[in-house]
């Protein structure tokens, strides 16, 4: 929020919240909690994913998703041009619009955009990706995914300064102006670092990072940056991207990352009270 005395932006009072797309994550509870917190003067930037919705749309129109694994064990969606269009339709077209609608119904002036709009997020395209398939190394070409290089935080500050809540879909723009699919956890991390916020919240369908996944009683309550390398070992599947995102945010100057449950009532407040995995 803008400090009325100095006219400067108080980055400490801003939080970037990433909404996970897995089954069970309660978008309506998150929006209600967001509306209540905004009412109390909290400033929020929301970032969302949408893999499940993009998968479902791909299946419906006969272009199912193809997931590939990199030599270092990270899973990602192979995004040919058609998949990019499906991803944009599901994530930017549907999820972003419906999230903005939910927030508007709650009286929040939400503004939906993706990283393509106004070059909010500029990414380097990885046109060729290395994968491991059936134990063999292969190279896939014509991929439309990217790694974010730059976030133009000024756009977000302008919106926030006008009392508007940005809701961001994980698409970025390449140097050549192409739309690219980017990972939403890592996008949220880059946005949090660019805005110099104090806290990045990753809401997902788990209580936090579990030492013995899927046993929810093995929640890791606190971790330090130096534990993150080890955490990459225990995180499976897409949870690895969250750990990587946490690492990038903390390296980028964010003070605290919380991986927390998006399936509970008041998920944002619950996480801010320290429930989840707090990484400092
Ligand atoms: P989102 O949609 O929230 O971005 P994903 O569903 O793709 O995320 O990934 C988060 C999921 O990863 C969790 O819901 C959980 O099922 C799984 N997971 C894998 N390993 C772990 C772990 N060590 N701790 C917690 N969750 C894990």
Tens digit of each residue's pLDDT (9 = 90 or more) over 214-234:
999 999 999 999 999 899 889
Identify whether the C-beta of residue 115 lies closer than 8 Å to the C-beta of residue 182. yes
The share of the chain scoring above pLDDT 90, in percent, equals 84
Question: β-strands 129-133, 136-140: how paired?
Answer: antiparallel
Identify whether the C-beta of residue 163 lies closer than 8 Å to the C-beta of residue 107. no
Does the Cβ of 237 fall within 6 Å of ligand 1? Answer: yes
The per-residue pLDDT for range 109-136, each reduced to its tens digit, is 999 999 999 999 999 998 888 999 999 9
Q: Please measure the distance between the N-terminal and C-terminal CA atoms of the chain and give it in whole angstroms.
A: 24
Q: Please name the residues in contact with 134: beta carbons below 8 A apart, sequence gap of 6 or more.
A: none
Identify whether the C-beta of residue 175 lies closer than 8 Å to the C-beta of residue 140. no
pLDDT reading at 85 higher than 70: yes
Query: What pLDDT, on a 0 to 100 scale, did the predictor assign at position 4?
Result: 40
Query: What pLDDT, on a 0 to 100 scale, did the predictor assign at position 237?
Result: 80
pLDDT reading at 173 higher than 70: yes
Query: What pLDDT, on a 0 to 100 scale, did the predictor assign at position 21?
Result: 80
Cα separation of 51 and 59, whole Å?
12
The per-residue pLDDT for range 137-171, each reduced to its tens digit, is 999 999 999 999 999 999 999 999 999 999 999 99
- Provide the pLDDT confidence category of residue 23 given band limits of 50, 70 and 90: confident
Domains (range + CATH), the chain: 11-279 (3.40.1160.10)
- Provide the pLDDT confidence category of residue 11 given band limits of 50, 70 and 90: low
pLDDT reading at 244 higher than 90: yes
Spatial CA neighbour of 115 closest among 68, 181, 205: 181
The per-residue pLDDT for range 35-49, each reduced to its tens digit, is 999 999 999 999 999
Q: At 48, which helix (H) or strand (E)?
A: strand 43-48
Give mean pLDDT, residues 68-73.
89
Does the Cβ of 209 fall within 6 Å of ligand 1? Answer: yes
Q: Which residue carries 């994968």 as its tokens?
A: 131
- Provide the pLDDT confidence category of residue 5 given band limits of 50, 70 and 90: very low
Query: What pLDDT, on a 0 to 100 scale, did the predictor assign at position 238?
Result: 82
65, 73, 77, 206, best to mutate for ligand 1 pocket (most atoms within 8 Å of CB): 206
pLDDT reading at 257 higher than 90: yes
Cα separation of 223 and 231, whole Å?
9
Cα separation of 64 and 115, whole Å?
24
Cα separation of 63 and 150, whole Å?
31
Q: At 186, which helix (H) or strand (E)?
A: helix 184-195
Nearest protein Cα to ligand 1, atom 14: 205
Query: What pLDDT, on a 0 to 100 scale, did the predictor assign at position 7?
Result: 41
Looking from the CA of residue 25, the nearest atom of ligand 1 is: 3
Spatial CA neighbour of 188 closest among 14, 59, 65: 14
Cα separation of 268 and 34, whole Å?
7
Cα separation of 55 and 64, whole Å?
6
Residue 229's CB is within 10 A of a number of other CB atoms, namely: 10
Query: What pLDDT, on a 0 to 100 scale, did the predictor assign at position 161?
Result: 94
Does the Cβ of 220 fall within 6 Å of ligand 1? Answer: no
Query: What pLDDT, on a 0 to 100 scale, did the predictor assign at position 72?
Result: 85
Average pLDDT, the chain: 93
Q: At 133, which helix (H) or strand (E)?
A: strand 129-133
């Amino acid at each position: 929020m803008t400090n009325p005395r100095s006219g400067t932006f108080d980055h400490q009072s801003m939080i970037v919240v990433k909404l996970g797309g897995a089954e069970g994550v309660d978008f309506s509870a998150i929006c209600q909690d967001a509306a209540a917190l905004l009412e109390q003067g909290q400033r929020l930037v929301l970032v969302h994913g949408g893999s499940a919705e993009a998968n479902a749309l791909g299946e419906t129109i006969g272009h199912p998703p193809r997931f590939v694994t990199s030599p270092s064990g990270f899973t990602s969606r192979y995004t040919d041009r058609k998949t990019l269009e499906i991803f944009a339709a599901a994530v930017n077209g549907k999820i972003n619009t419906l999230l903005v609608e939910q927030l508007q119904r709650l009286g929040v002036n939400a503004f939906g955009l993706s990283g393509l709009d106004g070059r909010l997020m500029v990414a380097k395209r990885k046109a060729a990706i290395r994968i491991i398939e059936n134990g063999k190394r292969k190279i896939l070409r014509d991929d439309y995914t990217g790694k974010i290089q730059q976030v133009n935080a000024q756009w977000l500050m302008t919106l926030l300064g006008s009392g508007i809540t940005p809701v961001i879909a994980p698409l970025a723009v390449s140097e050549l102006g192409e739309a690219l699919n980017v990972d939403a956890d890592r996008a949220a991390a880059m946005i949090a670092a660019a805005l110099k916020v104090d806290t990045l919240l990753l809401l997902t369908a788990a209580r936090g990072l579990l030492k013995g996944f899927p046993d929810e009683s093995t929640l890791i309550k606190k971790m330090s940056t130096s534990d993150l390398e080890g955490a990459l070992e225990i995180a499976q599947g897409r949870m690895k991207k969250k750990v990587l995102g946490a690492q990038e945010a903390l390296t980028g100057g964010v003070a605290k990352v919380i991986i927390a449950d998006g399936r509970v009532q008041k998920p944002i407040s619950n996480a801010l009270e320290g429930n989840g995995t707090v990484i400092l």
